[in-house]
């Protein structure tokens, strides 16, 4: 049973935003079904914006919201033959009571009804550049309205990006969303614990053909699914040894050997919400001194980032705090020789740390693992700034964190073999990632059901 009130409130907020901008109508399709091969589709996943406003996850649906607050749903009609093969459809007759929309039609009536809904609206809002062919479809409907102008119809005079409104709303999570994110984080943490323990046990007891990345991926998927998660939130990374230095590596069949580190970046999607956790652990349960040295640097960097994740701080503050700690560690370990690179500020200036740390420390997370939302402060003025590539760009200051925002905190160090880099660190890749909910005074880590402290990981893997 869908909790209508949540979605009604969100649709009402969209209507208010339309009204405040001079009125109009917002249109939004859900995601299409995507063929995988011949007549088999990829598992269906709704469009996040659409789901955010309806809680409805059937394919083939559309939503329209007018500034007056009236909402119209288009959905697949009841069809006994199709329902025998593909499953029960809600159907337009049951939709108003089930979803709380003002009215509902069969999606077969879309082409006829949309021009009617658009008639006499001052503006049309739809998500720009997210649905292939949508602009052309809207153009077609507007054309039909225009054809009736000489009979007194008025055609919308402006088009706006609906994402702008929805992105701002989605950036700050409500209590319903936070509850799901907490559950998703807990399930994913349990999956990481299971993978760590399985790794140690299989290495100790031996497994035919050797311990492989896919063995641990199977443990993750098992744990996600047995707790009701519908999908992984993204392709799971299970990286043995040097594979951890490939940032977007996907779990393959590489062997995890005694003495290797294993980096797992995996999280489940639960009821439309993501989780995103990375842990790096010794496959056999015991860090080597070189692995432990780098691990403790990354952990200290994450701690520094967490300490500045609170309301009033900017989105870039955790990254800046983590980067300073990582650089200090690179200088202390000789990854960046002090004689050549100087002090932390010199390395920040030169960018030499990017050889070992080439990504940002976090991103928004929510319905999408890399969630929507501006990373700059919309209410501030743009000024001339230097970007990460050294280019001069007009940019607004980084977003100020507010309670209800959710972001990941994921520093790392990746050491590819190279001249001048101490050999003991070659092929070590470490990332530690947790999901943080900004609270009134600080942040709550949603994913600490799996330890991060090296001693605690070793203890867990011994049990």
Return the half-sphere exposure (C-beta side, CA atoms, 13 A cut-off) of residue 175.
2
Task: Give catalytic residue positions.
Answer: 39, 248, 265, 276, 359, 363, 370, 410, 414, 431, 433
* Three-state secondary structure of 70-122: CEEEEECCCCHHHHHHHCCCCCCCCHHHHHCCCEEEEHHHHHHHHHHHHCCCC
> Of Mn ion, ligand GLY, none, which one sits near residue 118, judging by CB under 5 to 8 A according to partner kind?
none
**Please, what is the minimum distance in Å from the beta carbon of residue 238 to ligand GLY?**
12
| C-alpha span between 14 and 405 (Å, rounded) | 19
Nearer to ligand GLY, 74 or 356 (CB): 356
DSSP state of 33: P
Structure tokens at 95: 């939709």
**Please, what is the minimum distance in Å from the beta carbon of residue 234 to ligand GLY?**
5
Among 265, 269, 435, 458, binds Mn ion (CB under 5 A): 265
- With binding defined as CB under 5 A, does residue 269 bind Mn ion? no
Give the x-and-dash track for 274-313 against ligand GLY (CB under 6 A). --x-------------------------------------
Cβ–Cβ under 8 Å, residues 306 and 318: yes
Residue with tokens 């007018």: 66
Nearer to ligand GLY, 2 or 247 (CB): 247
Scanning 27-35, 122-130, 191-199, 406-414 for contacts with Mn ion by CB under 5 A, the matching segment is: 406-414
Residue-level length of the chain:
463
DSSP state of 245: G
| C-alpha span between 66 and 251 (Å, rounded) | 46
Helix (H) or strand (E) holding 213: helix 213-226
Nearer to Mn ion, 55 or 232 (CB): 232
Site for ligand GLY in 409-448 (CB under 6 A): 410, 433
Among 167, 265, 368, 435, binds ligand GLY (CB under 6 A): 265
Site for Mn ion in 157-176 (CB under 5 A): none
> Of ligand GLY, Mn ion, none, which one sits near residue 234, judging by CB under 5 to 8 A according to partner kind?
ligand GLY
| C-alpha span between 356 and 295 (Å, rounded) | 13
Tell me the CA distances in angstroms from 371 to 170, 339, 436, one per residue in order.
Answer: 8, 41, 13
- With binding defined as CB under 5 A, does residue 188 bind Mn ion? no
Scanning 26-34, 81-89, 219-227, 275-283 for contacts with Mn ion by CB under 5 A, the matching segment is: 275-283
Count residues contacting ligand GLY (CB under 6 A)? 7
Cβ–Cβ under 8 Å, residues 387 and 444: no
Among 62, 105, 234, 249, binds ligand GLY (CB under 6 A): 234
- With binding defined as CB under 6 A, does residue 219 bind ligand GLY? no
Neighbour count for residue 110 (Cβ, 10 Å): 18
Backbone phi and psi for residue 453, each to the nearest 5 degrees, phi listed first: -65, 135
Residues that bind ligand GLY (CB under 6 A): 234, 265, 276, 363, 369, 410, 433
């Amino acid at each position: 049973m869908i909790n209508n009130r949540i979605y009604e409130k969100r649709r009402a907020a969209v209507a208010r935003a339309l009204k405040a901008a001079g009125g109009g109508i917002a249109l939004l399709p859900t995601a299409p079904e995507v063929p995988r091969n011949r007549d088999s589709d990829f598992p269906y996943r709704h469009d996040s914006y659409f789901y955010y406003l309806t809680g409805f996850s059937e394919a083939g649906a559309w939503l329209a919201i007018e500034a007056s607050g009236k909402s119209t749903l288009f959905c697949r009609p009841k069809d006994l033959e199709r329902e025998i093969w593909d499953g029960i459809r809600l159907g337009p007759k049951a939709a108003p009571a089930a979803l709380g929309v003002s009215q509902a039609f069969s999606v077969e009536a879309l082409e006829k009804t949309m021009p009617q809904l658009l008639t006499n609206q001052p503006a049309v809002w739809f998500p720009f550049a997210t649905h292939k062919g949508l602009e052309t479809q809207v153009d077609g409907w507007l054309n039909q309205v225009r054809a009736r102008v000489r009979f007194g119809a008025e055609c919308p005079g402006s088009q706006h990006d609906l994402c702008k409104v929805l992105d701002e709303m989605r950036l700050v999570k409500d209590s319903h969303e936070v509850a799901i994110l907490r559950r998703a984080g807990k399930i994913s943490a349990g999956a990481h614990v299971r993978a760590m323990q399985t790794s140690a046990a299989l290495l100790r007891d031996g497994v035919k053909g050797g311990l492989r990345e896919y063995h641990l991926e199977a443990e993750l998927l098992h744990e996600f699914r047995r707790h009701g998660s519908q999908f992984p939130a993204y392709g799971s990374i299970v990286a043995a040894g040097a594979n951890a230095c490939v940032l977007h590596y996907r779990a393959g069949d590489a062997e995890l050997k005694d003495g290797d580190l294993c980096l797992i970046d995996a999280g489940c999607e639960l009821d439309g919400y993501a989780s995103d956790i990375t842990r790096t652990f010794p496959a056999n349960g015991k860090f080597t001194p070189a692995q432990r040295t780098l691990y403790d640097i990354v952990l200290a960097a994450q701690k520094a980032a967490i300490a500045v994740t609170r309301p009033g701080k900017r989105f870039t503050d955790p990254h800046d705090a983590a980067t300073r700690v990582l650089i200090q560690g690179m200088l202390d370990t000789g990854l960046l020789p002090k004689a050549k690179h100087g002090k932390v500020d010199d390395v920040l200036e030169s960018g030499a740390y990017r050889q070992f740390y080439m990504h940002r420390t976090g991103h928004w997370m929510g319905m999408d693992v890399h969630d929507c939302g501006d990373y700059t402060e919309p209410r501030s003025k743009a000024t001339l700034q230097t970007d990460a590539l050294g280019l001069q760009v007009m940019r607004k200051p980084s977003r100020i964190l507010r309670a209800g925002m959710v972001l990941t905190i994921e520093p790392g160090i990746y050491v590819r073999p190279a001249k001048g880099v101490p050999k003991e660190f070659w092929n070590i890749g470490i990332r530690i990632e947790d999901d943080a909910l900004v609270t009134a005074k600080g942040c709550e880590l949603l994913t600490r059901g799996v330890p991060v402290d090296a001693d605690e990981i070793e203890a867990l893997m011994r049990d």
